[in-house]
Amino acid sequence: MENKTLLKMRLERKQAQLEAAYNAYTALLKGGVQSYTIGSRSLTRLDLPSLEETIAKLEWEIDMLEGQIAGRKSRKAFGVVPRDI
């Protein structure tokens, strides 16, 4: 298990990223510019579905880090293969 100080630093960084993602999402909902073109150059900002995925991922990562700091073990995923015998 990683050092709690390192985990707390990672948690703070992820929380700052999540706050920035929330701000970007709110700006796009209020009608912020999503893309524009100047001459031959164009810029496209993140779209709402992409931001929603980013927010969900960051929230999940924050939950995992908080769990590790609290001493809980990380979640394990496993698969089940049904068989017809």
Q: What is the pLDDT of residues 15-48, one digit of tens each?
A: 999 998 888 888 878 876 666 676 777 767 667 7
Q: How confident is the model at residue 83 (pLDDT cuts 50, 70, 90)?
A: confident
The label of the residue with tokens 């779209």 reads: 47
**Of 49 and 77, which is predicted with more confidence?**
49
Q: pTM of the prediction?
A: 0.68
Which stretch of DSSP H or E encloses residue 35?
strand 35-38
The predicted structure's pLDDT at residue 72: 78
Residue 77 token pair: 């995923």
CA angle 55, 56, 60 (to 5 degrees): 115
The predicted structure's pLDDT at residue 34: 67
CB-based contact 75:64 (threshold 8 Å): yes
Which stretch of DSSP H or E encloses residue 23?
helix 4-29
- Tell me the average pLDDT across 44-68: 86
